[in-house]
Amino acid sequence: MATKLHLRLKSLEDDDPWIVEQKNFAIRKDFLQPDSYISPADAAFQINELTPMKREAQGEEDVEHPESYMWEIWGFFIEISKQIPHDHPSQDKLVSLIKELTLLPSVEVEIWGPSDCVLQKKLRVWADLPLMGAAWTEAWDEPSDYDDSYEAFKQGINWHAFSARLLQSGLTRWFMYAVRIFRLASEEEPYRKKDTWEYRICAAAQWIEHSRQAIFQKLDSEFSTKELNQMAEGPLYKGKEGMSHERWDFWEAEFRAFGGERAGEVSEETASIYRKAAQQMTETGLMSDE
């Protein structure tokens, strides 16, 4: 059986934590344990009961705006995902929880613009996963050059693994995040700080491990101008923009090189990650030809 998870939320360590946050965390903490008998549907139902819309309907006064609640919710998911090892089965359980939330009866809410408070649009909780993409954009980060904490690198890799699983599940359209980390890992000169460079490689490997089929199926597809801007090429890549077969082949060649003739430039563990990623990319291409 997989190892027990020791999860925490920093905000609950305050002197006066929010009761709704405590309940939300307790539900997820219990559900995510490997030996839990709580189903994704049951956990989703319990979380849905804590939305401001539900609490207001039950007579609670002065509830927070749904937009504020959604920011909190996705913050919880992000913080928890960073604590679940990238190869732990509870990563998939966390994806299944979000999927079950989208299947619940939806409530339409108003989401406001981020800067001028002009009404932007109406979105459905949970079907549209409102503000999830915005929360993930804010969460994108990598350990600082001045951060020597192994924990920061480990949590970043866990987050990439979870994000890749969400893409493969079809719940999101986060191809730009995959392209961005591939660019950092293979389209730029090796980063001056070896730990940061190897972190990027390990993070990119998570997208290959967990979402390569979804990525490969979208190669040479049409993307919006905004998406293409987020997929900007690195200095070492001179081919077709966006997410193309040509660019996939470039990534694969770079990964194969650092797993082979250039393996001496990285640690043996990192070279092994490169080799596995390149092999998985090759196999994905071969499967698509069958």
- 60 and 190 co-located in one domain: no
Residue 115 pLDDT greater than 50, yes or no: no
Is residue 135 domain-shared with residue 163, that is, in the same domain? no
Domain for residue 145, yes or no?
A: no
Are 110 and 242 within one domain? no
Does residue 110 form part of some domain?
yes
Q: Look at residue 186 and tell me if it is in a domain.
A: yes
Average pLDDT, integer, range 92-98: 99
Looking at the fold, whether 166 and 245 belong to one and the same domain comes out as yes
Question: In Å, what is the CA distance from 68 to each residue of 56, 75, 266?
Answer: 15, 11, 44
Which of 109, 139, 169 is the last residue before a domain boundary?
Answer: 139
pLDDT at 32 over 90: yes
- State pLDDT tens for residues 135-185: 999 999 887 766 667 889 999 999 999 999 999 999 999 999 999 999 999
pLDDT of res. 120: 63
Please tell me whether residues 189 and 280 are part of one structural domain.
Answer: yes
Tell me the C-alpha distance between 247 and 238, whole Å.
Answer: 9
Contacts of 197 (CB under 8 A, 6+ apart): 185, 190, 191, 266
Same domain, 91 and 209: no
Last residue of a domain, one of 79, 113, 139: 139
Whether 256 is in a domain gets the answer yes
Q: For tokens 């000169």, name the residue.
A: 189
Q: Do 162 and 283 share a structural domain?
A: yes
DSSP sequence for 102-131 = HTSPPEEEEEE-TTT--EEEEEEETTT-TT
Same domain, yes or no: 187 and 269: yes
For the chain, what is the domain count? 2
Phi, then psi, of 219 in degrees rounded to 5? -60, 140
Q: Are residues 98 and 175 located together in one domain of the fold?
A: no
Quick one: how far is CA 249 from the chain centroid?
24
Query: Do the domain assignments include residue 146?
Result: no
With a cut of 90, say whether residue 20 has pLDDT above it.
yes
- Domain annotation covers residue 271: yes
Q: How many CA atoms lie within 13 A of 25 on its CB side?
A: 20
Residue 113: pLDDT over 60: no
Q: Is the pLDDT of residue 128 over 90?
A: yes
d(CA 181, CA 161): 12
pLDDT in tens, 204-236: 999 999 999 999 999 999 999 999 999 999 999
Q: Are residues 60 and 170 in the same domain?
A: no
Last residue of a domain, one of 110, 139, 168: 139
DSSP character string of 124-152:
EETTT-TTHHHHHHHH-----TT---HHH
Q: What is the pLDDT of residue 286?
A: 80
Closest to 76 in 3D by CA, of 39, 122, 131 = 131
| Within a domain: 147 | no
* 201 within a domain of the structure (yes/no): yes
Are residues 36 and 99 located together in one domain of the fold?
Answer: yes
Query: Do 92 and 172 fall into the same domain?
Result: no
Round the average pLDDT of the chain to a whole number and report it.
Answer: 92
**What's the domain range around 58?**
1-9+16-139
Residue 121's DSSP bridge partners are 111
Can you give the pLDDT at residue 190? Answer: 79
